[in-house]
Structure 1
Amino acid sequence: MPKLGMTPIRRQELIEATIETIAELGYQKTTLTHISKRAGLSSGIISHYFGSKQELIEASVRYLIGELKRDLLKSLGEREVSAEERLMLIVEANFSSTQIASANTKNWLTFWSQSMHDPMLKRLQRVNSKRLANNLLFSFKELLPIEQAKKAALTTAAMIDGFWLRFALSHELSMNHQQAIGFCKGYIKQIIESQEVHEIL
């Protein structure tokens, strides 16, 4: 029987081992044996805490999604921020050191690819995409008419995903994550400034 309080620790160790193993070997080649060996635990422990490889993979995706949320909440802190500042922080959170870490980018790419074939991963991918769009819309609604806000939120979300993907797939490109952040922030500023000019006129 596991010691009291060890369950969260063991689960986290297995999730981290899964992320590291998938980053090294790829989704198809990753086995429970590989994961348990990296974690320094027996294969039976995985069944005890997660039931199957699939459940462990899903838990790993939820962990990465949670990391993205934690990055944003950490940047927001408890201070009051304007709608425009909040939009900029959302962009930064999606390109934080956590999100562009090599192992994490490889896992995100893997999960996105697998979501086309796995219903649960597809659901998680949709939840994550919807959360980004809704977070952006919440702030844009304070700055723009509702229809423009919806369009701006969807466009910004697409830019974030697109630039992140471009950065993740090729480090040979001249673009780096700071440039990607700059492009996304530039679009947001342009939309806001256009609305301000329209209101003045």
Structure 2
Amino acid sequence: MTGRRKFRREGEERRRQDLIEATLDCVAADGIEGATLRAIARRAGVTAGLIRHYFPGKEDLLQAAYATIVERMTAQALASLDATGRAPAARLAAFVAANLAAPIVDARVFSLWAGFIGRAHADPALSAVHRDGYIGFRDRLEQLIAETFAAAGQSADAGQLRRHAIAVNAVIDGLWIEGCMAGDLFETGELAAIGTASVGRVLGIDIQGADA
């Protein structure tokens, strides 16, 4: 195994995060089954006993690692909303586009996500992490969609917003998987352009040409 991490010895939370990152490295390199406590300890440059000081067992560490991936992807997409003065449609377009470009579209990120998803059906804790991440992401989409409809003078009830968010999430997921697995088949920005155009058609509002 290569790429041993330097374990930083300051702060409980920093040390905990180092172990999570070492776990992600192991899962990316050798899959879920290859991410043993021994392998994680070797990657982090610590003893397995020290890992147990922060996590009761491997399953707890895997759950924290998966939650980190889910939260990191959402945070990276939300960073696209930081620009002030944008119209709601432009904010929604930026959010969709961010999910369909680097660093979210990334082969390693997909490999990690797929590894955890493959285990989630048999692991209630991982399934709960996935569910919470999905609901949080969909709730954010609902909010952006509601703001876009309101700015366009169109109304949508709670049920319609929910269905729109589910459909938009499906568009993003499908294109994201394609981009992660075969990114060389697409031109720079192509997936983002397809995604924003498709979301506009789903909603019946042109978000692709929205003013920034």
Q: TM-score range by the shorter chain?
A: 0.7 to 0.9
Give 1:176 shift. Answer: 6.1
- In the alignment, which residue of structure 2 is the partner of 1:60? 65
- Deviating more after overlay: 95-104 vs 27-36: 95-104
Length, aligned pairs only = 191
Q: Among residues 167, 171, 180, which one is paired with 1:155 in the alignment?
A: 167
Equivalent residue letter for 1:121 = L
Assess, with a 3 A threshold, how the Cα gap between structure 1 residues 4 and 124 changes in structure 2: closer, same or farther. Answer: same
For the pair 1:30 / 2:35, whether they are aligned, the reply is yes
Distance 1:171 1:95, change over 3 A: closer
Query: Does 161-170 or 110-119 show the bigger shift?
Result: 161-170
Structure 1 residue ranges (4+ consecutive) displaced by more than 6 angstroms after TM superposition: none
Q: Tell me, yes or no, if structure 1 residue 187 matches structure 2 residue 198.
A: yes
Q: In the alignment, what sits opposite 2:5?
A: none
The 5 A counterparts of 1:75-154 are 75-77=80-82, 79-142=84-147, 143=149, 144=154, 145-146=156-157, 147-154=159-166
Change (3 A) 1:158 1:179: same
Which amino acid in 2 is paired with 1:188?
Answer: V
1:151 to 1:132, Cα distance in 2 relative to 1, 3 A: same
Q: Residue 167 of structure 1 contacts residue 177 of structure 1 at CA under 8 Å; is this kept in 2?
A: no
Tell whether the 8 Å contact from 2:19 to 2:40 is kept in structure 1 after alignment: yes
Gapped regions of structure 1 (runs ≥ 5): 195-201
**1:185 Cα deviation after fit:** 0.3
Q: 1:4 to 1:169 in 2, by over 3 A?
A: closer
Q: Which amino acid aligns with 1:74?
A: A
TM-score for both structures, normalised by structure 2: 0.79
CA contact (8 A) 2:77 2:98 kept: yes
Superposed CA RMSD in Å reads: 2.4
CA distance in 1, matches of 2:58, 2:187: 34
Which secondary structure does the structure 2 equivalent of 1:160 belong to? helix
Per-residue deviation, 1:50: 1.1
Query: Aligned equivalents of 2:163 and 2:42: distance in 1?
Result: 47
Counterpart position of 2:48: 43
Question: Comparing both chains, which one has the higher relative contact order based on Cα–Cα distances under 8 Å and sequence gaps of 6 or more?
Answer: 2
Contact 1:91 1:160 (C-alpha < 8 Å) held by counterparts:
yes
Whether the aligned pair in 1 keeps the contact of 2:97 and 2:196 (CA below 8 Å) is no
Q: Is 1:20 aligned to 2:25, yes or no? A: yes
Deviation at 1:58, TM superposition (A): 0.7
Aligned with 1:51: secondary structure?
coil
Mapped to 2, the partners of 1:32 and 1:177 lie a distance apart of: 39
Distance in structure 1 (CA, Å) of the matches to 2:15 and 2:46: 9
